[in-house]
Structure formats: C-alpha cells, structure tokens
Amino acid sequence: MTNLDKSVEEEILAIVEKYQKEDTKLLNYLITDDEITFFSPIANGSEITAQDLQKVADILKGSFEGMEIVNQEYRFKFKCGL
C-alpha cells in the first residue's frame, strides 16, 4: 500500500483540516507495512484532540499508537486495518 484511497483521504482531511492554519489543506503521511504516520508542521496548526484522533483511527479501521514532536512537526502514528 503506497497511498490511501482518495475517499479515505478526504474523510481524514475533513477531520484534520480544522487544525491547519493555511488556506491550502494538506494531508501528509507515510505508510510502512501496517502503520501510517501523519505529519503536521507545528507552525501551520495545532495538536489534534484525542476525540478526532479516534475518528481517524476508526476511518483507518485501526488504532491510534501515539504522537511525538520531531523536527518542528507533529507525528501521529496509527496501526491500519484497511
């Protein structure tokens, strides 16, 4: 799996776009095996709430694994069941 389906991307973007300040809403992610990491620059927005992280996990049919800050960006990791 190299990319999520466009419909899944749109569902996730609808949840996370309210945390982004820029006019251009972006969904940056990396898929490795059964894990997906979403990247969000700290300067472009704010940390996503636990409730919205759970919504993303539900869309992915997986679970939220954790969040870290690396190189001035938030990194949100999920196990994916898609």
The predicted-structure confidence for 8-57, as pLDDT tens digits, reads as follows 999 999 998 888 776 667 788 999 888 999 988 887 667 788 999 999 99
More confident site: 80 or 65: 65
pLDDT of residue 82 exceeding 80, the answer is no
Give, in order, the Cα–Cα distances in Å from 11 to each of 32, 60, 66, 68, 71.
Answer: 20, 10, 20, 23, 27
Residues, the chain: 82
- For residue 38, which of 7, 4, 6, 5 has the smallest C-alpha distance? 4
- Among residues 61, 53, 64, the alpha carbon closest in space to that of 5 is found at 61
